[in-house]
Amino acid sequence: MHLLLVEDDLDLGADVQRALAGCGLTSEWVRGVAPARALTDGDDAARFACVLLDLGLPDGDGLKLLTHWRQQGLKVPVIVLTARDALETRVAGLDAGADDYVLKPVAAEELASRIRAVTRRAGGYATAIWTIGPLRIDTARHEVRLDDTLVALSPKEFGVLAELARRPGEVVAKHRLAQAISPLSEPLDFGALEWHIANLRRKLGETRILTTRGVGYSLAE
Ligand code: CA
């Protein structure tokens, strides 16, 4: 999963990004309203599975940014990340369209479990276990079973599969899949993506992942 982190504090931002990486989540980190808007204009926002949003930003108010996103119809789950623990702020955040609210400093495991909860809700899944045909994907344990048999996947193979499994049957663009597995601040590695797709097909069955030439891949329903 690829996330957008909006946080101006250098230490906190680095901590959160490290915590996310430790949970196998990649993220893009910006430190203000303007760069966050630039990254979420138009269809660009679709590549983020979730946004972690600080409220006090140097060039504007995080709540106003959130209100703007919701007015634009942006459906990505948003977790408000803030040191402000006043009840009014919390209510205002949820009213503005936040999906959850986490107080800083944040424990890595709690943050990961909140992210899983909001992305699951957004994907229409009620549990952390996704069943797609003979596949069972446990997003909390990073386990995959095919016809009840555990399949050993590398973290990146799991990342690609989880990205496809969020919307079974829908084509996911190559750049989005590559983003989900590429290390931060490195160019997208499309060669590695094809390698992981080939491995997934070998382990899960050749027809499990379909290619839409020049566009991307989809998980067979
Ligand atoms: Ca701040």
Residue 50 confidence (pLDDT) above 60: yes
What domains can you pick out in the chain, each with its CATH number?
Answer: 2-122 (3.40.50.2300), 129-219 (1.10.10.10)
Answer whether 120's CB lies under 8 Å from 127's CB.
yes
Angle formed by the axes of helices 33-40 and 62-71, to 10°? 20
Residue 85 C-alpha to ligand 1 middle, in angstroms?
13
CA distances from 209 to 10, 33, 133, 165, 169 (A): 40, 38, 12, 10, 9
Residue 60 C-alpha to ligand 1 middle, in angstroms?
10
Using one digit for the tens of pLDDT, what is the confidence trace for 163-190?
898 888 889 999 888 877 776 656 788 8
pTM: 0.61
Using one digit for the tens of pLDDT, what is the confidence trace for 74-126?
888 999 987 756 566 777 777 788 888 888 888 888 888 889 888 877 765 54
Residue 167 C-alpha to ligand 1 middle, in angstroms?
33
CB half-sphere exposure, 129, CA atoms < 13 A? 10
Residue 218 C-alpha to ligand 1 middle, in angstroms?
38
Residue 81 C-alpha to ligand 1 middle, in angstroms?
9
